[in-house]
Structure 1
Amino acid sequence: MNAPTTATADPHPRTGDERDSRPPLSSRLPRPWAFPLLAYASTWILTLGVWAWLGDRNVAQVPSVERRKYHGWQLHFVFKDASNYLDVARFGYPDHLPLAADGSVKANNTAFFPLLPMLVKAVAVPLGGRYVLAALIVSVVLGAASAFAVWKLADHLRGRRVADRAVLLYCLFPGAFVFGYLYSEPLAALLAAFCLLALVKRQWLLAGVLAGAGTAVRPNMVALCAACAVAAAVAIHRERDWRSLWAPLLSPIGGAAYLVWGTVRYDDARFWFKTQDQGWDQHTDWGVDTVKRVLWLDPDVRAEPAQNAVHTIFFVLAVVGVVWLLQEKFPPAVTVFTLGVLLLSFTASAQGSKPRFVWTAFPLLIAAGVRLRGRVLAAVLVAFAVGFVWLAGWSPLHYGRGAP
């Protein structure tokens, strides 16, 4: 039997909605699952509005090499990291690591994990090599599927009303503006949400496969490995369910396969770490950069007040979300995944509390969905939508400030 038990699921969900006799919003639709898709559609309405407003305002900000490859709406969609993913889909990874005169590794596309570009290539081939169109299709489908997955997880954890509120928060959270780019966060959230759902339902093999796929999307999806390990430990301790070991055993397979492949191809087991550190100036600094940004301590940080204000605001939102998450007492796997994503983000140099990284820790929004209702929820959603539009419009006009 795969029914959830106290080993993995909270037997006492608390929503605060018991006195509300009205049916949930999604239950008023002919097909309840259409609700998260409608919520997701709202993000594209906002995105298309921003694209229309931007017009060619950001063209001067785009590197000339990008302007030669893309035009019109493509310059909005193929933004920063999206260009790297698209190049991997088109041309694959480099034959060798590019080196600078001092022997250090230059920035290159081996920093980007393979599953997203693999999906784009799989769609582009039957489209006759129309890679940008394929990327747009993949991005839209993955975004919609991620909204559905978060809604399903929230429904299982706290019921349909909370699920409806959580998916609205998920789709309008300012970090969700990456729905409009070929970025990997929606695919990561999709796999993570279904993996966590499989864990709380004790579907161990499925959870391991989904986690393994997730680790081939983004390095911070190693948090799924921790979630699988914790869920298995709880199941073994409480019920001697040794089948649960499938989840942690399979969970790292995707990311590990990429690292092994690169080790053989480049004859260097540290190829990815060198590319990240030497090429892209990305490394673990144990939170130093995050602290400097949040406390406005570094002169370089203070020189970018708008960007730094975003980091500070979303760090505070993350802290509030963590407090709510811990108070909810979600199944351990859900909590461990969320804290793991935040920890990996906050301890990474030049990453910190970027909105899209806080958004990837989406169980925070499920916890928020338990508490935010009525006018308070409406006000928060409006504030989120304003932040969504501002980030989607500001980032392309400040191309040199790093990936949003």
Structure 2
Amino acid sequence: MPVSAPPRPAVAPGPPASAPCAPAAPYRRWRPGPDDREVLWLYVLTRVGIWTTAGAVRWLFPADGDRAVRPGSLFSPWERWDWSHYLRIAQDGYFPGGAGPWTAGWDNREAFLPGFPLALRAVHAVVPHWAAAGALISFLAGGVAVLALARIARHHLRDAEAGRRTVLFLLLSPCAVFLAAGYTEALFLALALPAWLAAQRRNWPAAAALACLASSVRATGLFLLAALVLLFATTARSRREWRSAPWLLLPALAPAAYSWFLHARTGDWNAWKHAQERGWYRDFHTPWEAWTNTWNAAFHHVQPTGYALMWQAELVAMLVGIALVVPLVRRRQWPEALYVTLTLWALGTSYWYTSIPRSTLLWWPLWIALAGWSLRRPGLRTAYVCIAGPLSTLVAVTFLTGRWAG
């Protein structure tokens, strides 16, 4: 997904995530149980922590500098970077007053899919403050996401503790601040993870409908679709189940409809891709070119240190993704491996890496694998909390103070 990033230099410097599916569970299993309530309590506590951090940022880093006698507004730390694009789309639409890519100074807003701005506009009808509406969407969506993630983890690892640990690892991950911001990550997970859970229960119509909504929020929804198709192909057994196959065409409807909308306004079927290229340098480069350009930006002292540090994080996140794919393939978890691989390919073939650390939030096989590992090695959870907790706070403060955090 697009992110705001520093300008490109004029001259470039030199454990498995799912087990074999069980039959569809009865409806009552969707109701929250004691384990779900513990997961929600963990979620609420971490929201208190992140909002306390945001409140401290208002006082420590006011917009007027060290001489300010009043802190910023309650939501000012959250109104950063991509939020401005979502807000403008929700307020004015994609092409206000006939403006567009043909207009000087155009902001390339068509690079952002309509799912989140539409949700923002709908919630704003009830919550007048735009940033509050965005925060509310992410808060509610995050709660749905962690419930689904915990159930997926318990389904796979067959351990009641697995759900809590998986959610803990996600909520303390370095880029967890983006689950609380008015961004797309929480909303996407609130649709994608229940879709995966429905697929595990062989409820393909529900899985397809949820994946369709997820595809309207992030382009990652297409990678989810590919994983669902592969999961269906490798698990469907009966003729009755194969009759559900046409449902898997549904998730492609959202991006197809958006492409049609953009073509009707711009005459360009690839307007989304071209906006990505203009605004975020997402034109195709080979993986080794992208790695080299990112490495140069990270370590060759050609960018400000704050940006360089984030590019170092991009490189680490890419290595984590590759390391995740290896055991998924080894254990023949083909759908999950395909999902992560497609994400890495999409983000790893631009001019340089952007958004990979944020995208780790969407790699539910990673958090489940860590939970499974920690069940076998009890000290891992303590080590993770001690290391990831400070990193998560560091990234949160970076983002909340308006610095580039990926």
TM range (shorter): 0.7 to 0.9
2:313 is aligned with 1:310: yes
Is the 1:341–1:361 Cα contact (8 Å) retained in structure 2?
A: no
2:57 is aligned with 1:54: yes
| Residues 3-402 of structure 1 aligned to structure 2 (within 5 Å) | 9-10=19-20, 31-60=34-63, 72-95=73-96, 96-99=99-102, 106-127=106-127, 129-159=128-158, 160-235=160-235, 238-240=237-239, 241-287=241-287, 288-293=289-294, 300=302, 304-330=307-333, 332-352=334-354, 354-373=356-375, 374-397=378-401, 399=403, 401=404
Structure 1 counterpart SS, 2:153: helix
Q: Give a deviation string over 1:8-40, Cα, whole Å, max 9, x none.
A: 84379xxxxxxxxxxxxxxxx972211221222
Q: Give a deviation string over 1:51-108, Cα, whole Å, max 9, x none.
A: 233225555599xxxxxxx95122211211122112222222224414356xxx8323
Runs of 4+ in structure 1 off by over 6 angstroms are none
Distance 1:124 1:261 in 2: 23
Is the 2:81–2:402 Cα contact (8 Å) retained in structure 1?
A: no
Structure 2, unaligned runs of 5 or more: 1-17, 23-31, 66-70
Instruction: Flag the 1:47–1:283 CA change in 2: closer, same or farther, 3 A.
Output: farther
Instruction: Flag the 1:260–1:323 CA change in 2: closer, same or farther, 3 A.
Output: same
Structure 1, unaligned runs of 5 or more: 1-7, 13-28, 63-69
Corresponding position of 2:10: none
Distance 2:308 2:213 in 1: 38
Structure 1 counterpart SS, 2:269: coil
Structure 2 counterpart SS, 1:45: helix
Structure 1 counterpart SS, 2:35: coil
Instruction: Flag the 1:249–1:383 CA change in 2: closer, same or farther, 3 A.
Output: same
Aligned pairs, how many? 366
Q: CA RMSD for the aligned pairs?
A: 2.9
Q: Give a deviation string over 1:371-397, Cα, whole Å, max 9, x none.
A: 014222121022111111000112344
1:348 Cα deviation after fit: 3.5
Is the 2:285–2:351 Cα contact (8 Å) retained in structure 1?
A: yes
Q: Which amino acid aligns with 1:336?
A: L
Distance 1:305 1:130 in 2: 35
Identity within the alignment, %: 22
Instruction: Flag the 1:388–1:119 CA change in 2: closer, same or farther, 3 A.
Output: same
Q: Which has the higher contact order (CA 8 A, sep 6+)?
A: 2
Distance 1:125 1:187 in 2: 18
Q: TM-score, normalised by structure 2?
A: 0.80
Q: TM-score, normalised by structure 1?
A: 0.81
Instruction: Flag the 1:345–1:43 CA change in 2: closer, same or farther, 3 A.
Output: farther
Corresponding position of 1:67: none
Q: Give a deviation string over 1:192-222, Cα, whole Å, max 9, x none.
A: 2111122222211111111111110011221
Is the 1:215–1:252 Cα contact (8 Å) retained in structure 2?
A: yes
1:125 Cα deviation after fit: 0.9
Distance 2:131 2:124 in 1: 8
Distance 2:381 2:181 in 1: 27
Q: Give a deviation string over 1:320-361, Cα, whole Å, max 9, x none.
A: 33334345544x333322332233222344444632112211
Structure 2 counterpart SS, 1:372: helix
